[in-house]
Chains A and B, each alone.
Chain A
């Protein structure tokens, strides 16, 4: 096995807590009675609904489209009747426009037949990726087809697949790699063909030796196709799965500030996104469902569930046997970067990789105190920023002067706030600073 690699600066080692779900096979969650599909799931312009109230839709039908600007279409995750085109709860925006579908439980499951994609041109493949509504489902939600069209002045030579899954608790990518390794490798070949390159590296943290083995076997099976697909084990360190950190760990290239990975000739995709690309191109199946880890000590039955986009948390809680009395916080996404939600009527989106039900013993809700200038946040920051200065400036009402500390380079991984002995909400300070500070 190749030696493990990691990024050079900062990083933390939070308890992994992946034991809860890492050995549970992905279960298909039965269709809920109702699905709420948020129209703005990706970065860019939100979709406009293309269906009206009381319209009949079947699985895979188009229900939303972006007419202008960056975006991808949206599809009906299940057959049924449009109940409303209105608003739904949203973990960040509180409320967001959505389409509600009353699911027709009697409708037969849609069957997908694999087809041969080898004869498609890269333009055709790219169009299929766009039409299937594929976005970065690892969390960012950036439309995948845009990343596959790098600017022509920056030739790309390497495709990185992100299987690091560095956030504690989450095992969705881990299970996907174990159960769908051949599909992911096939998806990687599709991505390579679209990009017109042959070199692909799959980065996986070495706390998932079984996934490393499965992916290595699957990648070795493709030898002789003209592609070079290899697996690179990575050291277990948060935030290993961050784009810039992953690129530096695997290729040694530093992405310049404010630049995209294509500036150093690299494109990064999540392994689950790659699986979705496979579905879109080979099965002609739009992105309507995804693997979500349901974990934490506050839920009675932790699980890795294959759920339809738009399934509400309350239905998941019911399917997983309810919550425990000492539940204290429900988080969509990982415990480091995820968002706590205030009620359970919020639907799963394409970018939700986990829903965590955390108890008092798992979360830390200690009040903040003054910064003691210990400097541990500087050691933890993978970007070499000064989180403590940003915090002090924001508290002192000088958020607009924080650009000097590189506040726009911060990707809010939370390493600084994780180590802070004064329990300062440094990520929150950074978000405030980003709102007020102006880019020069």
Chain B
């Protein structure tokens, strides 16, 4: 019998056999870190825009968030190691998404508490990437908004800014003085991000560029944002007809606050959104309607995180709509 070793094969040192594995032997991509890095690229335009607009203030928010989030992630890793380190990349993405919704003057302890809830409670306690039932960043922002509403006030954060626009959150003014508030804002200003909002969520134009990038590379499916758009525009149109004093116009809702950020980055999160195509559309649709309802009838100003969390809860139910197995319908 011929010796295998004469061909210098990479034999396993204990068994003297070739390496085996289950097919397919070809696979695409470099794992989950690639997925998360694509999200980071998509978040980059808004991040850079925020740094340009607010300078050190937003750098401080982003830096502190990353620091705290990675600290809590590594701490959790110490006590409950996850299977791979790609979860750290997901923490980076979550941290950036979280910091986009923070006011630029958020105190350091607020960011720390937020990161604790996001990473330890929202993500790690539920089993990490792929297992958390609610979007951790949305969950954490919701907790902060309920616990320290005054600290989460974007109007207050930007009062020192020298902008030639109305420096009150559009949705806050809408809530307090009714739909006449819309006259205070130019839609173009809102679109270009010249509005009071979180550190980067209000940079509508730059958020749109990132979201279109994700859609273009098919990282996220079009059913989610389109369903969201249909739900949001449809319901706000009807509510605007029904009660024009309380509800703004569909375009005003679309361009103010974090609406687009929610539609492109929050509800499209792989883990918390449904996996099948039709449920994706319904999920986006529900999220859109919920957002208008919350903005119209609750005390919350923007309310994107509450709409996201409520939609998250529908996701497992929606996923029970299964795709058709090929050939089965012929029976």
Contact = CB atoms under 8 A, between A and B. Distances in A.
A375 B19 CA distance: 30
A384 B21 contact: no
B35 A372 contact: yes
Interface in B21-75: 21-32, 34-35
Interface stretch (B3-11, B134-142, B170-178): B3-11
Interface stretch (A126-134, A172-180, A420-428): A420-428
Given A329-B21, A358-B25, A423-B27, A367 B84 contact: yes
B71 to A, nearest CB: 22
A227 interface: no
Contacts of B322: 386, 405
A428 B22 contact: yes
A342 B18 contact: yes
B327 A409 contact: yes
Nearest to A15: B26
Contact of B18 (A330, A373, A388): A330
Contacts of A356: 25
Interface residues of B, number: 53
B323 interface: yes
A318 B19 CA distance: 20
- Label chain A's interface by main secondary structure: loop
Given A323-B8, A325-B8, A369-B86, A14 B26 contact: yes
Contacts of A375: 221, 270, 274-276, 280
Contacts, number: 187
Nearest to A412: B23
Contacts of A422: 31-32, 130
Interface residues on A, range: 35 or more
Contacts of A146: none
A244 B276 contact: no
A168 B324 CA distance: 28
Interface stretch (A46-54, A273-281, A331-339): A331-339
A406 B28 contact: no
B192 interface: no
Nearest to B4: A344
Interface in A313-364: 314, 317-318, 322-323, 325-331, 333, 335-345, 356, 358, 362-364
Identify the 6 closest CB pairs spanning chains A and B, nearest first. Answer: A414-B24, A375-B275, A364-B27, A406-B325, A256-B330, A340-B20
21 contacts: A244-B326, A257-B327, A326-B10, A327-B7, A328-B10, A328-B19, A336-B23, A343-B17, A345-B1, A356-B25, A364-B26, A371-B130, A372-B129, A374-B270, A374-B275, A384-B326, A412-B23, A417-B27, A418-B26, A421-B31, A422-B31
Interface of A: 9, 12, 14-15, 168, 244, 254-257, 259, 314, 317-318, 322-323, 325-331, 333, 335-345, 356, 358, 362-375, 378, 382-386, 388, 405-406, 409, 412, 414, 417-423, 425, 427-428, 431
